[in-house]
Structure formats: structure tokens, C-alpha cells
A and B are shown apart, each in its own frame.
Chain A
């Protein structure tokens, strides 16, 4: 099997991981911390990244994959620019969190765990963000929003749309000014 051609993004990732790995002791106990720091930096674990970790710890890639897929924290596809995490904890469920999730899914035409093809948005369901008194809750990028209503979902997209248009306009203005 030939190694597929790496694109620029992946090559940069491989380089950074190569530089980072020596900081970690070559013992099994560091496996999860290594995977966590890779994901923190690159937002997901690629196949190449997991193979590199396996080599560093002298264990098989399947072992690394086995551990990574066991835990909910790890992601194997790049997330979107904007991430929506919809809480489906007990309190949020009772307050209709599934309806909120469905609204996001319908709006973007993807299922939870997926990213839109333009990599602009991704949706995830999370077990509990621990803000049960504010149910239903969704985490929009890094902001926790409480008491979210189905119509608020529409509002969030309008907000992002306006923001994107403004950015584009500013960019165009800068370019024409130069």
C-alpha cells in the first residue's frame, strides 16, 4: 500500500506532532494525555497522528485506536469552524433538548457528530455540561447558552450569517483601499 499524498494541512500536523512527542515519557500511562494534547492542538485525531503515537509508545496502532474510540472525548474527523454542542443531560432531556438538537440537524442537513461539507459548522450531542438549572442548554463555540428555545436556533444562524457578511465586507473594503 502506498502512503497517500499528504496535503499541506496534514503535513503541518505531522510536523507539529513529531516535535511534540519527545516531551512525553515512553510509557503506557502517557497514552491518554498524548491523545488529549494532540486533540487540543488540532481539534481531532487523524489516522496518521494515531500511528505516530503508536510508534512512539511501541504499541500497535490498533491498540491506540481501541483506546481512543473507547472514550467520548476523542474525535476522528475535523470539526467545523463553529461548533454546536447540544446538551442531552437528564434535565435538558426533560426540558426538550432533543428538539433543540433536531432543529440544528434540520437546519444544517447533517446528523449529530457530523460536519457540514464546507467545514463551517458541526453538531455534537454531549451528555451533560453541568448547567442543569439552565436547561435546555447548548454550547455555541465556547459560550454556554441556557434556556434555549427552538426559535433561538434560527437566531444563532442569522447571527453567524451577519458576522460572516460583515467580515467579507470589511475584507473587500480593505482590499479596495489598498
Chain B
């Protein structure tokens, strides 16, 4: 079928999309975009939407409410963009729009034309009246390629995606030979975004060459890393871009079946992608004889049941086959013998979502972004101790310093930067001296961390590196599938050692043992989970050895984090007479009144939750935390007060 015929099939869909967009532009009715992805909803977006609806009907104002996906600015949720065409103002983005603010916005802006400047985050386009979002570092240092439309279109409306050029890549791909598509992806240098960075084009070529069997594509959306949520955001905010990529990949390798493996813990993502598949099939952009060609693609959603190891491709395939998700020895690689024994390409959500724009704008354009070896962008979920946490998409090669301090606003409360943990349980902790490391697959691996899933946790001076390593080991130890002895038992022992160090029971030889055991686990494990599980321990040992030594030798936690090694006490000089806040908030009644109506902590009862420190009024600031616990002055509680 010729390129012209495919375009002819696509033209009516494009016209309908253009008509709908035009209608919205010209009818003069204001549009309210509300971010309604999981993080928006957690911050109360549903209540905000309801408040808008009630206020609008109460005032009899006509306005369109459009639920959109995530913009990535989690610190400012719930976000709302109001496009009020007759006001003479550009579309305005508002932050932290609670139900009460929603009512104010309807009353002041939509009814009276006053845009309520104190709630404004910025305008979405350049103008003379309101500072534009593009002028803020958070916006202009980012380079959005995968997340370009996230938060700007309604994920449930396929026409909005088409109006932004959506499915154009698929049309173009279908008009070329599959080999040409593969060649284009190879030239683009796209590397798998799942973490390991294997060249996507090469994987496809291997699959295409793997015999006459029908091939299968699997989209890996089993985002198990605690601390990364970009795959979920893409599924919730722009599912069609992913489906378009999936169709391009399927066409290129010769597959007629695609599976989207998404975590069952992401109910909204599951619902959104299922709805998107349905609307794609209705317009014959998916399903049978796509755009009038002989290319068919059945897309099936499989809900993963929560096993971190299923992010590994062979384990994921076992899981779809209804077995325990355990990895197997490779070769044979899935590209030769994968799901149900057929050649299978497993690609990450971000990899597939890159495809439409590469096909549309060409491999050269893609190569012009990022670095020579790692072209394109990287998406990170930057969380922890930063001022502006959220999802950030930056060009590969950007330095960690730019990302943390410029894009995400640095460390809050004037505390100092201590470390950044990249790549989740498989990655490592990098200290300040690595802040100028460029972010790309190879540089990060060299530094001892890894790109991984893109989880990035920034830690300030109050984070204990030993505790963080213990945390990750606790996670990987639970998630080890148990196939390889080194991973199953080795991680258990690592965890035991770290446990005793954080409890102040560490022994001198533990530090050496941690290191040798880590190396053994790395070489004795089959899959990525075991091979990378000791990374957090190894990097923190390398860069923060002094903290381990303080725990082992002095039984002291320098960051005042490990609870067995810290104690709270109340400074009697500072404590106010008669203020009872700490007594009321203590969950275990460990705080009692001592001489002169001042308060003291019963160390035997204290569970070290730190609540008294939080509630103590700043003008007294009397609660102190110390390590080792012996430093806390002991005030005896008289028996009758117990």
C-alpha cells in the first residue's frame, strides 16, 4: 500500500482533531485544565474539580473542565491552568489550588476578570503582563521530548493527541519498509531507557532476523523501583504516544501482538491505557488492518502483581506466562526465544515513547540532543531534600549540579547537600565531589551509580548513609526471587550486618566483610537484581567510610538518624514553664513534668519518633537530639509519675 493511501486513511482523523481544536479556540468559553494524575489526586485535585463545578453552576458561568495528566511539578499540586480567551490574558497556571482557591478563582477571575495574582505560578506563553513559566529555570533548563504533551492534553481524548501531531510518526513508518524504520532508529542511537542502555535498534534487528515466527513486543511498565514514577506518569498523561511507539516497533520487527506489562498498583494508569487502546482501535490506529494496511496489532494489558525482579525481561516474560517471575539464563535472549517461545522485544515505556518523535523529526534531530554516546533526554524523578521535587526531563549530559540546584531549586532549610542516590536499589550514592558529573549512561556507571530507572533521591546533612544502604538492602533482600544462592543468602547477610551496624552492635571486621561479600554477590548472581544489589553498599563504603567507622567504633550516628544510636532530651534552660505541647503529642507518654513545671524525657519509654522536636514552639526550641545516646542528661522520673 502506498504512502498516499495511508495518508488518505489518516486525513479524516486529522480533520476531526483540527475541527475540535478550532471549536475550542473560537467559542470564547474559558477552559479549566486540572492536573488529575495520581499525585494531583493525592494532593486533592478531585476536591478542586468538584469545587470548580459547584462554583461554576452556582454562578451560572459556562466553562469547560478538562482533566489532564501530570506536568511533573509535584511540589505545586494541585495545578490548574485557566485559559480565559475573552480576558485578554494568556492561559495562566495556578499552583496549590485547593477547593477554597478554586472558588476564589471562579469568583474573581472568571466572573470579574481579576486573575488573582497571589495564586499565579506563571503564564504558559510569553506575554507582557504575567511572567511566563518558560522564564523560570525549572522550565527553561528542561528539554521535553517524551513528556512534551504530558499535562497539556486530556489523556482520554485521542483527538487532542492527534491535534498535536500524534500518530504522524506511525503514518510515516507505515509508508516505509520495516528495515528502513529499524535503520532510522539505529542511526538515532536510541538506547533503552529501562536502565541498562542497550541500543534499541540493534535489539529490533536481532528480533526481526530471528526466523519466520510471529514476533511479540512487550512494553515494560513494571516500575518497581521505590522512588521512580515516570513510567506511571507517562501512562497516565499521554498513553497514545506510548501506543504509537508500540505500533511503530511492532511494525518494524514484524509483530502482531503487543503486551503492556503495567503494575497493578497503578490503577489509574491501567484504566487510562485500556481506554486509550479502545479509542485507538475505534479509529483503526490499532487493532486489525491499521490505517487500511495489512498490518494488525492486538494490544493486551497485563497487570503485574508487584515483584521488583519482574522488571528483568526474562522474569517479566515468565510472569505473563503465569509462572513465578524468576529470571532465566541468557542466551537464548528473548529476541530469539521469548514469550511463548516466540522472538520478543521488551522495551521500556520511555524508549517506546521516544519513537514517534524520532520517526517524525528524523534521527539527526534526535542525535543533536544529548551526548554522542547517549543521545536524547533522560527523565528523573527528583525527590527527597529538594525545594522543587517532581519529574524532570533534561538532555543527556546535563550535570547533576544543574539538575539539583538549578532545575530543582537546591536543598531546603539552608541545609547542606550530602549525597544523591541515583538508580534506586541498583544504583549508588554519589557525594558532593561528583556534582559536576554529566548525566549519561556511561559516566554514571563509571562513577559507581547507574542510570537505572531514573529515581533520584537527594539527601541533606541529616541523612545517614549507613541507614540508606540498609534500607535498599532491606528492599532487595525481600525482592530477591531466591534463584541464585548468592543473591538469596548473600543479601540477607549484608542486611544483617548493616542492621547491627545501625544498632550500634557493629564489629571492626564488618566493614571488610561488607565489601568482600558485596563483590561475591555481584559475581555470583544471574540477573541485574543480584548483580547490582550491593551497589548502594559499595558506593557508600567508598565515599562515606567515615560514617560507617563512626557507627562501628564510636557507636555514634553522625547524621542523628539511626534511632538506636540517638536520644532526645529537653534542655531545661530553654524549656518554658507550663507549656504542655510535647506532653500532649508524645504517643507513648514518655514526657513528664519535672521540677519547676519543666518537662523531661523518660528514656526508657521514648520511641524516638521526634514528634516533640517538631511541636516544640520555635521560641523555646528546647528539644535536643544527640548521638551517642549516653550524651543525653538523665533525669529520673519519680515512680509515682510512671
Contacts and interface: CB of A to CB of B under 8 A. Distances in A.
A133 B38 CA distance: 12
A67 B304 CA distance: 12
Nearest to B481: A70
Contacts of B321: 28-29
> Which of A27, A88, A151, A153 has most chain B Cβ within 10 Å?
A151
A162 B524 CA distance: 56
B609 A70 contact: no
Nearest to B325: A70
Nearest to A106: B587
Contacts of A33: 302-303
Contacts of A31: 322
Nearest to B455: A90
Contacts of B77: 133
Interface in B370-408: 381, 383-385, 389-390
A32 interface: yes
A73 B264 contact: yes
B319 A90 contact: no
B611 A94 contact: no
B323 interface: yes
Contact of B585 (A127, A133, A134, A151): A151
B38 A67 contact: no
A129 interface: yes
Contacts of B455: 90
B203 interface: no
Given A30-B322, A72-B307, A133-B390, A90 B607 contact: no
Interface string B19-58: 0000000000000000000110111000000000000000
Q: Contact residue range for chain B?
A: 35 or more
A91 interface: yes
A67 B323 contact: yes
Contacts of A50: none
Given A90-B383, A94-B459, A130 B266 contact: yes
B324 A66 contact: yes
A89 B226 contact: yes
A74 B324 CA distance: 13
Nearest to A88: B226
Contact of A99 (B43, B588, B610): B610
B609 A91 contact: no
A151 B128 CA distance: 47
Given A106-B588, A131-B42, A91 B384 contact: yes
Contacts of B229: 128, 130-132
B543 to A, nearest CB: 17
Q: Contact residue range for chain A?
A: 35 or more
A133 B611 contact: no
A150 B77 CA distance: 23
Interface string B72-86: 001101000000000
B232 A90 contact: no
A163 interface: no
B614 A91 contact: no
Contacts of A35: 305
Nearest to B381: A132
Contact of B42 (A28, A96, A134, A153): A134
Interface in A113-141: 126-135, 137
Interface of A: 27-33, 35-36, 66-67, 70-74, 88-91, 93-94, 96, 99, 102-103, 106-107, 126-135, 137, 144-146, 149-151, 153-154
28 contacts: A32-B302, A35-B305, A36-B264, A36-B305, A72-B307, A73-B265, A73-B306, A89-B226, A90-B227, A90-B421, A90-B472, A94-B385, A94-B463, A99-B609, A106-B607, A127-B306, A129-B38, A130-B223, A130-B265, A131-B38, A131-B42, A131-B229, A133-B39, A134-B42, A134-B43, A135-B383, A146-B42, A150-B587
Considering the complex of A and B, which 7 residue pairs feature the smallest CB-CB distances, nearest first? A133-B74, A71-B305, A89-B226, A130-B229, A144-B42, A90-B227, A72-B306
